[in-house]
Amino acid sequence: MEKTVISQKILLIFTLILLTYLIVVLFEKDINTFDELERILLFRHFRLHM
């Protein structure tokens, strides 16, 4: 039972990150470098875990 809960949380986090990525790409096209996007997403991702 615990494994399914953990995998659901991981899936949820992954979906949130993907959605955030798409939103950033769509609404902030002035950001040209993907490295910058990845840094923003990684920062948010780690902030979620803390």
What pLDDT score was predicted for residue 13?
94
What pLDDT score was predicted for residue 32?
59
Torsion angle of C-alpha atoms 12, 50, 3, 7, degrees rounded to 10: 20
Token pair for 18: 């993907």
What pLDDT score was predicted for residue 37?
72
**pLDDT tens-digit profile of 1-50?**
688 888 999 999 999 999 988 888 777 765 556 677 777 777 776 776 65
The sign of the CA dihedral 4, 7, 13, 17 is negative
pTM: 0.45
